[in-house]
Structure 1
Amino acid sequence: MKKILTLFAVVGLFAFSGCSDDDNDNVDYDTIPYAFEIKNVDLGRVTDNEYNLKSTFNFEINDNLRDDETVLIYRLMDLINSNTPVWQLIPRSVYFDNGNVIDYYYDFSKVDFVITARASFNLINASDFINDQTFRVVLIPSDLAASVNKNNYLEVMKAAKLDESQVQNVKF
C-alpha cells in the first residue's frame, strides 16, 4: 500500500509540476504529451494464469472537456545494450513453440489504468513475464496517435517532441 501511495504522490507531483499558471487564475492543462516509466514491478496475481498491475493517475488526463488524449503503454521486452532498450506496444501476444501464449493488454479511464498479463498456462512457471517488468506509459493527443506508427516507440516520442530526459520514473 505504501508503494502505491508513493506512486500516486510522484505521478501527481510530476503531472501538476508540468502545468503553468500564466495569470494565477487559469491553469494551463496543455501538458499532453508526457511519459512516465514504471520500472521493475511485479504484477499481482489475479488467478494462476492472470496477473495485473492496477494504478491510479493522481490527476485527470482529460481535464477541461479534453476527450482527445490517448494512453499508450509499452513493455520493456529486451535490452540490446544499456543504451538501447526494446519497447513493445501492448496489447501484444507472446507465442511459445509448445502452443502456449501470453497476452499483455491494458485498459484505462480518466483516472486509472490496469496492465494485465493473461496466459494459457500457470504464469508462475514463466515468472520472467510477470516479475521485474518495466513499462512506459505515454499520453499523447489522439490526433497525434492517429498520425504516427504507435508500434514504434521512438517514432511516437519524436512526434510528441519528447526525449528520454522528460520520461518521469515512478517506483512501486
Structure 2
Amino acid sequence: MKRILAVLLALPLVFISCEGDQGPPGENGQDAFIGLTYDFFIDLNEQNNFSYTLPFGEEGIEVYESDAVLVYHSSEFYEDPEGDINVWKLLPQSVYFTNGDILEYNYDHTFEEVRIFLDGNIADLGTLDTGYTHDQLFRVVVAPSDFIAESKVDVSDYQAVVRELKSYNPDHQ
C-alpha cells in the first residue's frame, strides 16, 4: 500500500516536469518592433476647417497607446536624376510672413487617429495662398516609444529616424 501511495504522489511531479516538442514560434506581442510610415496628400481648407483627421483603424494602421506618433511635412524637394527627393520637417512647423503673420502646421494624436491642422495668428486662413493649403504632403511615422528613448535619435531629422528604424532590433539591445 505504501508503494502505491508513493507512486500516486510522485506521478503528478513526473507530468509537471515533462517537456514536449517545442511549438511554432509565436509573436512577441507589444514587445515586438512595429514601425511604419504613411504618406498622404491633403487639402487644408474652409470646407474641413483647415484640419484633417486620419483614423488609423480605417487605414489598417495599428497604433498602441505607448507608440510615438511623429508627423512630418514636405513643402520642398530637390530634383535628382533618379527622382525628386522630398525634404521632411517635423511638425509643428511655422511660416513667418513679412507682415508679422504666422502660419503653423501642427498636429495632435491619440492611438486611434492623428489630426493635422493649420494654426497661427492669421485672422482669416481662407486668405492664404493655395500653395500653403492645397496638395500638402505629410508623412506619419509610428514607432515604439522604447525605440525613441533607447536610440536617443533626433526626431526632428527624418533621415536619422529612418536610419535608426532600419537598424533597431529590440531583441538585440
- The alignment's TM-score, normalised by the length of structure 2, stands at 0.67
**Structure with the higher fraction of residues in strand conformation:** 1
CA distance in 1, matches of 2:101, 2:63: 36
Instruction: Determine if the alignment matches structure 1 residue 149 to structure 2 residue 154.
Output: yes
Report the Cα offset of residue 95 of structure 1.
0.9
**Structure with the higher fraction of residues in helix conformation:** 2
Q: Which of 132, 136, 152 is the equivalent residue of 1:133?
A: 136
**Which AA in structure 2 matches 1:34?**
L
How many residues align structurally? 134
Task: Select the structure of larger CA radius of gyration.
Answer: 2
Match of 1:113 in 2: 114
Q: Which of 72, 75, 79 is the equivalent residue of 1:74?
A: 72
The more displaced of 113-122 and 94-103 is 113-122
The verdict on how the C-alpha distance between 1:95 and 1:32 changes in structure 2, with shifts beyond 3 A counting, is same
Structure scoring higher RCO (CA < 8 A, sep ≥ 6) equals: 1
1:44–1:53 Cα contact (<8 Å) kept = no
2:45–2:126 Cα contact (<8 Å) kept = no
CA distance in 1, matches of 2:98, 2:142: 35
**Any stretches of 5+ residues in structure 2 without a counterpart?**
1-22, 168-173
Match of 2:54 in 1: 55
2:73–2:89 Cα contact (<8 Å) kept = yes
**Which AA in structure 1 matches 2:56?**
F
Report the Cα offset of residue 45 of structure 1.
2.5
**Any stretches of 5+ residues in structure 1 without a counterpart?**
1-21, 163-172
- The alignment's TM-score, normalised by the length of structure 1, stands at 0.68
**Which AA in structure 2 matches 1:37?**
D
Report the Cα offset of residue 120 of structure 1.
2.2
Percent identity for Structure 1 against Structure 2: 28
